Amino acid sequence: MSNIADMFFNLDIMRQALPLLMQGLVMTLKLCAVVIGLGLIGGLFLALAATSPRRWLRWPTMALIDLMRALPPLVLLIFIYSGMPFAGVQMPAFTAVAVAFLLNNSAYYAEVYRAGLQSLPSGQWEAARATGLSMPQTLVHVIIPQAVRNVLPDLLSNTIEVVKLTSLASVVSLAELLYQANMARSVTYNSSPLVLAAAIYLVLLWPCVRLVSRFQRKLSI
């Protein structure tokens, strides 16, 4: 028992590792800001293209979304980080990670938005168009606000996944939270930094997870 406390909950080691982990946390948050921010916007455009009546726009978009859903994000990341340099495309780890996760997550956000867009009755389109609103005006003022509101729980749920996903950046040595924790572990031969990292993720995400559950309950009743 004391062994467990020593190996996993060693306060001394945690205290020593904390500054390093905080640096990592900053990097994680930066990554989240980029991927979530751009993903929310990119996903919306993908979803609009994927629900477009124009076939030449819809089909390639759906293909891209399905491709991204079928590829594990880590594979995409390794491909971009280790594979692209062979083609002469070199980029810093942060960029590689951001590009890979952005591709992956725009597709996931797009799926969420798409469900929201398709949940709206066509009467909303017609009413808006009949009052002379243009297509973009209809989207901005009538369709998108309702679609987003309808899928808010799923957007939140996907955003949680993005935050968790950023931990994969440690594989390509981007100094985010998990990378720093794992460094501290290998230096101290002690797992407490990993446990501390887990605790930080929990503090960050547990409230969100609760909120998603609450949302789902409310929707279903």
Partner 1 sequence: MERFLEVFFAPQVFARYAPDVLYAMMTTLWLGLVIILAGIGLGLVLACLRTAQCWWLTLPIVIFADVMRALPPLVLILIFYFGLPGLGLTLSGPLVLFIVLTAVLAAFAEEIFWAGLTALTRGQWEAGRATGLSFFQTLIHVALPQAVRMGIPSLVNRALAITKMTALGSVIGVKEILAVSSSAQAMSGSATPLTMAALAYLAIFLPAVVLARWLERRFSWRV
Partner 2 sequence: MTPMLEIAGLEKNFGDVQVLRSIDLKVARGELVFVIGPSGSGKSTMLRCCNRLEEPTSGSIFIDGRNIMNALSADLNRLRLQTGMVFQGFHLYPHMTVLKNVMLAQTKALKRPKAEAETRAMDMLGRVGLAHKAKAMPTELSGGQQQRVAIARALALDPKVMLFDEPTSALDPELVGSVLKVMKDLNAEGMTMVVVSHEMGFAREAADRVVFMDGGVVVEQGTPDQVFGNPQQDRTRAFLSRVTGAE
Find, among 174, 197, 176, 200, the residue nearest to 185 by Cα. Answer: 197
| Cα 51 to chain centroid, rounded | 22
186 binds partner 2 per the rule CB under 8 A: no
By CB under 8 A, name the one of 5, 19, 79, 149 that touches partner 1: 79
Among 72, 92, 135, 145, binds partner 1 (CB under 8 A): 72
Residue 130 binding partner 2, by CB under 8 A? yes
58 binds partner 2 (CB under 8 A): no
Stretch that binds partner 2, among 33-41, 75-83, 129-137, 212-220 (CB under 8 A): 129-137
Q: How far apart are CA 43 and CA 31, in angstroms?
A: 17
- Judged by CB under 8 A, the number of residues near partner 2 is 18
Residue 219 lies near partner 2 (rule: CB under 8 A): no
CB 164 within 8 A of CB 201: yes
Name which of 97 and 163 has its Cβ closer to partner 1. 163
Give long-range contacts, CB 8 A cutoff, 24+ apart: 178-183: 178/24, 179/24, 180/17, 180/20, 180/21, 180/23, 180/24, 181/17, 181/21, 181/24, 183/20
Separation between Cα atoms, residue 114 and residue 150, nearest integer Å: 11
Q: How far is CA 17 from CA 138, 146, 172, 176, in A?
A: 52, 46, 21, 13
Q: Confirm or reject binding of residue 59 to partner 1 (CB under 8 A).
A: no
Is 146 a residue that touches partner 2 (CB under 8 A)? yes
Which residues would be at the binding site for partner 1 (CB under 8 A)? 3-4, 7-8, 66-67, 69-76, 78-79, 82-84, 86-87, 160-161, 163-168, 170-171, 178, 181-182, 185, 189-191, 194-195, 197-198, 201-202, 204-206, 208-210, 213, 216-217, 220-221
